[in-house]
Amino acid sequence: MESPKVRVDRVNYVLMYDFEDEDGEYRWTGTTFLETIAFKQTVDDKINVFQIKAYNAVAEVADSEWINEFSLHPRILIRS
């Protein structure tokens, strides 16, 4: 298995990841987030307990300092 990969296609964020199929072969698939205005990736050695528990899932974080930046500066586009 390999680490997930990210591709940004203009305003779409594509998260690619591999999986093991019924025959034991590893294949790639992905999820596309359309019209993404911002995204944030965390390097492996900086993840927290919440992120470990959310492994293999898509989660929405409702109240974070990073998200709240949009309220303070609604015209900025953040991609970090």
Determine if the pTM surpasses 0.85: no
Tell me, yes or no, whether 24 and 56 share the same domain. no
Structural domain containing residue 52: 38-80
Tell me, yes or no, whether 17 and 52 share the same domain. no
H or E element at residue 65: helix 65-72
Tell me, yes or no, whether 23 and 59 share the same domain. no
- The phi, psi pair for 45, rounded to 5°, reads -80, 5
Distance CA 17, CA 3 (A): 7
Number of domains in the chain: 2
Quote the Cα angle for 1-44-15, to 5°: 60
Tell me, yes or no, whether 14 and 28 share the same domain. yes
For each of the chain's 80 residues, which pLDDT tens digit applies? 778 888 888 889 999 999 999 999 999 999 999 988 778 777 778 888 888 887 777 777 777 787 777 767 655 555 54
Tell me, yes or no, whether 26 and 50 share the same domain. no
